[in-house]
Every structure is written in C-alpha cells, then in structure tokens.
Amino acid sequence: MHDIKGVLFDLDGTLADTAPDLVQALNLSLDEAGFKVQTLETMRHAASHGSLYLVKTAIPQADERVQLDIQQALLRHYARINGDHSRLFDDLPELLTLLDSQAIPYGVVTNKPARFARPLIQKLGLTDKLKTMISGDSTCHAKPHNAPMLLAAQQIAIAPQSILYLGDAERDLVAARNASMIGGIALWGYLSPSDTPNTWPATCQFEHGAALKHFFTPSSF
C-alpha cells in the first residue's frame, strides 16, 4: 500500500502530448528560413527539452545566430497554435478522475514559461482541476532546482515526502530527489533511445498511463 497523498506532473511529455504543436511551430519556422521540415516522430523525443533544443536538434550544423532567430520564430508561431493539437496522454483523464474520487490533490510543475503553460492548461480543460500550476518562471529557479517543487508542495499543502512527482526527463527526477519527493518516470513520454532511465534517481517507473491508473486503484493498494 502506498502512502502518496499528492501527485505532481511534469507537463510536456508526461501529462500532455504537446509535441504535435511544438513540432508544427518548429516546421513553420524552418520553412520560413529555407530549411527542410522535420517529421513529428523524428522530433518527438526533443519536445521535452525546450524550444532551442528543438531547433538545435533539427539543424545542428546551422550558425548559432540562425538557430536563435529560428527559435524566436518558433515561439511566435507556438503562441498562436499552442494547445491546438495537444491532448492528455491515454488513461490520464481517467487517472485524474480517480485522484479526484480519492481526494488526492494534483498539479503541474513545468519549466514551460507561464505565457505558454497557462493557456495550454486552459485548452486542456484543467484550469479548475489543478490545485497548483508552477511554471518555469514561477520562482527564481527552474527544475532540477527544488524551489518550484517545494512551492507546489506548499500550495497543495502536502509534505514533499508524501508527493509523487512524475516526469519523462532526468532533470524531473533529480528535481524530485532534491525536494525529497517520490520520483516516478513516465516511460510513455518523450524519452530518446540514448536516455538511460534506469540510472535516474527514481523510486518507480510506469510504462503507460494505464499502469499509473492501476497503481492508484484501491484494489491494487
């Protein structure tokens, strides 16, 4: 039986599949600059790591100034299409309903800036469900620093040691450890073939949303 009293999610690649919008914004920017567009599957693994990482993954040989210009264009396009084709990952809507039924508060801690994170949460229909929404600029530090994690714990009024934090990148699990939270790896997220999740400081791993849902089903306690 677990002793988890609160759940916090990373956003991109953990709670929501946002890669379609991010890669579309990338491709609009690449096309404008005369570069070859990328497929969603080729770029999906890069979607958790920020806009500049997306650009550098797509055009690694380009001059840094060009990469920065395309990043700015990407952000402009993303502001317009953010959330249009994003959705919660499979089984997570049911998981949130299950958490609600058990009065387990949940929220988001993301490195995504608030100007993108909050409109996305609104489009996903989660604004009134989340008990906390911490973005990359909510504190002076982003993950893997513990500041945003501890602020979220304070806002949901749960001790960090009783919170499960779910993420799909190593920095997420380092952040959980730094905040003394229980770290869980969302293996359904944007992991790349070069990632080594077994070396990340996690307590548990979940292959898919159904496994996470099963974890919180009373009969599995």
Positions annotated as catalytic residues are 10
Q: Which residues pair with 6 in a beta bridge?
A: 163
- One-letter identity of residue 3: D
Sign of CA dihedral 184, 125, 123, 209: positive
Tokens, residue 188: 């359904």
The one-character DSSP state at 169 is S
Sign of CA dihedral 58, 72, 117, 171: positive
- Do residues 96 and 14 touch, judged by C-beta distance below 8 A? no
